[in-house]
Amino acid sequence: MEITTKLRILADSAKYDASCASSGVVRRGTPGGLGNSDGTGICHSYTPDGRCVSLLKILLTNFCVFDCQYCVNRISSDVPRARFSVQEVVDLTLDFYRRNYIEGLFLNSGIVQSADYTTEQLVAVARCLRIDHKFGGYIHLKIIPGAAAALVAAAGTYADRVSVNIELPVQADLDRFAPDKSRASIEDSMAVVRSHVDAAGEDRLTMKHPPSFAPAGQTTQMIVGASPSSDAVLLRTASELYDRHHLRRVYYSAFSPFPKAPGWLPPVSPPRVREHRLYQADWLIRHYGFTHDELTTVAAPDLPLHMSPKLAWALRHPEMFPVDVNTAPREVLLRVPGIGYQMVKRLVGIRRHHRLELRDLKKLRIRFSEARYFIVTADSRPTAPAAAMVQPVQQRLL
């Protein structure tokens, strides 16, 4: 099979993986080497069909011994198959980099023979790029769950970022849609990565030139809408993974139907805004002090699509508002709709010098049309009590 045909098949097969973002690391070029990695992140460009090409994003192979029902590359699928050799991936990466088509490599694979064999092939690509060609660009490797700890350690030695995809949030979903996978084996691999990342952090405190290990951390991905699990379940699982394995990010990827999919899978994708709301909620958990169970309720386990999770929470808790922007602690201001993380820092800094008035907030360009229902300034307060805020805000949004 020609290399261009392989590239077409295996680049298309990789498009479902969303764990592809900024590098988060700085690696300066070395004499005789090729390229570097900029900590400001990777600039994305897009092909006419919408694919991101800032990274060479491919599968080593789309052959797979697993039969995950939501995956177009499952063993029972009749899609065209292809497989790169290690040297072919290395040559493609170097050639595309020299032409300034890409800034790095994102490499995943279907599982062939075993998790260990597949991971060994992925590591061989990264090792060849780093050691033989002194490649300084960005590398993101997927780790196959259940791979030997030594192979996981080798992946983190050569890659900037590694990830183990959990894909579905609970074991019951995996049992139904991916019977070859287990939550335990996935988390075991995550735990190995975390132990090496933690060890590398300790080395930086005691060594002048410590060896690095996955300096951009580890991530995972969950598929949204393939299983009946609610947003509450997805967010709970994400919170557990953040706490246990110190993930850098959880990515949420809306399920994409494909031809000849099993009949019990959804015939259409979930609304894209659902994916967006999950990212917003995830951000609130990581940076705003919310817990996962605050953002949904037993009666409504899915995030509302017509408003942000923060606004929905505020509307459920009118007793918390209005908030005085001149006296409220930072943790309380972070929960005010329309006021973001950086804006709270500015508010806290300004109020040390003078009391904040309505005009100050307008100059700062907060989303005042939303925030005005929830705040008190030195010269203004909401015209209605907190309990009366729900209806006007909902009417404005709907």
Q: Where are the domains of the chain?
A: 3-217, 309-397
Mean pLDDT of 150-176: 94
Considering 68-82, 92-106, 279-293, the range whose residues carry the highest mean pLDDT is 279-293
Task: Write down how long the chain is.
Answer: 398
Q: How far is CA 293 from the centre of its chain?
A: 20
Cross-strand partners of 36: none
Residue 263 pLDDT:
74
Is residue 168 pLDDT above 90, yes or no? yes
Alpha helices in the chain (DSSP H): 3-13, 86-98, 115-127, 149-158, 171-177, 183-206, 231-245, 272-287, 309-316, 330-333, 341-350, 358-364, 368-371, 390-397
| Direct distance between the N- and C-terminal alpha carbons of the chain, in angstroms, rounded to an integer | 54
Tokens matching residue 369: 């049309």
Contact 159, 140 (CB under 8 A): yes
Instruction: List, for residues 257-315, the tens digit of each pLDDT value.
Output: 887 777 778 888 899 999 999 999 999 999 999 999 999 999 999 999 999 999 999 99
Q: How far apart are CA 110 and CA 62, in angstroms?
A: 5
Residue 112 or 382, more confident: 112
Residue 104 pairs with which residues in a beta bridge? 138
User: CA-CA-CA-CA torsion for 339, 342, 346, 349, nearest 10 degrees?
Assistant: 120
CA dihedral over 221, 277, 290, 160, signed as positive or negative: positive
Task: Name the 3-class secondary structure at 344.
Answer: helix
Mean pLDDT of 120-145: 94
The region of weakest confidence among 195-199, 257-261, 383-387 is 383-387
Selection from 49, 61, 50 nearest residue 14 by Cα: 61
Instruction: Output the average pLDDT for the chain.
Output: 87
The whole-number pLDDT of residue 221 equals: 94
Whether domain 3-217 has CATH 1.10.3470: no
